[in-house]
Amino acid sequence: MPRCQGIIAGRKSMERIANISSSIIAGGKSTRFGQDKTLYPFQGKPLIEHVVAIMREIFEEVCIISGDSAKFEYLNLPVYADIIPDLGPIGGIYTALVHLKREGTFIVPCDMPYLNADLIRYMASLPVKYDVVVPFVNGFFEALHAIYSINCLEPVERMIRSGRRQVIGFFDEVHLRKITEEEISFYDDVDKIFENINYPEDTLL
């Protein structure tokens, strides 16, 4: 299928995706924010609820990666604590892959409220032969807005055992599909989609 047709197909499909799940990373320490930001009010509701709402719209299966299951009990979603604590994002990805019941999982942080559902659907529509489907913007991977297949579990484990924590550290060991800025801009503003809420003042914008 030509790339443009794939984009349109991803955009038009409104059924919830069954072969890929979504894992919301919500175990960070919110150091820059100065307090727990997961439930911080943003545009009328807790920050994490913006992400949960979009993920539920797109995926049949959604879970949260966090050590505090009680805090998110009201969302009625499975919550998995980091299998290896204090590893940062790579620990969350590892935990998501260990609990994976589908072909892959879309990893997203709890503080990215401007997600574009059509872009995510497009990424999920790409062939399953790719182990990582990840946006590449301004020379950097958006590794926490990416789909990871079960084939990533072993290289992630090896990386963790070696003491490395950078998420992209295993990318050269798997079949990677970069989502270009041209593809992303078909859906929305490239800079806006991946914007995180890092400081309280960001919630006022």
Encode pLDDT of 30-58 as tens digits: 555 556 788 888 888 999 999 999 999 99
The encoded tokens of residue 163 equal 């003491």
Residues 6+ apart with CB under 8 A from 11: 118, 121, 122, 187
Q: How confident is the model at residue 68 (pLDDT cuts 50, 70, 90)?
A: confident
What fold characterizes domain 3-194?
A: Spore Coat Polysaccharide Biosynthesis Protein SpsA; Chain A (3.90.550)
Q: What angle do CA 80, 81, 85 make, to 5 degrees?
A: 150
Residue 3 clears pLDDT 70, i.e. is over it = no
Structure tokens of 154?
A: 């072993």
Q: Which residues of 109-135 are buried (b: 16+ CB within 10 A; e: fewer)?
A: bbbbbebbbbbbbbbbbbeeebbbbbb
Please choose, from the candidates 20, 21, 17, 1, the residue with its C-alpha nearest in 3D space to the C-alpha of residue 9: 1
Most confident of 24-33, 52-61, 67-76: 52-61
Burial of residue 107 (CB within 10 Å: 0-12, 13-18, 19+) is: buried
Number of other CB atoms surrounding residue 152 within 10 Å: 26
Nearest-angstrom CA–CA distance, 72 and 66: 9
Pairing mode of beta strands 79-80, 132-137 = unpaired
Q: Report the percent of the chain where pLDDT is more than 70.
A: 86
More confident of the two residues 39 and 62: 62
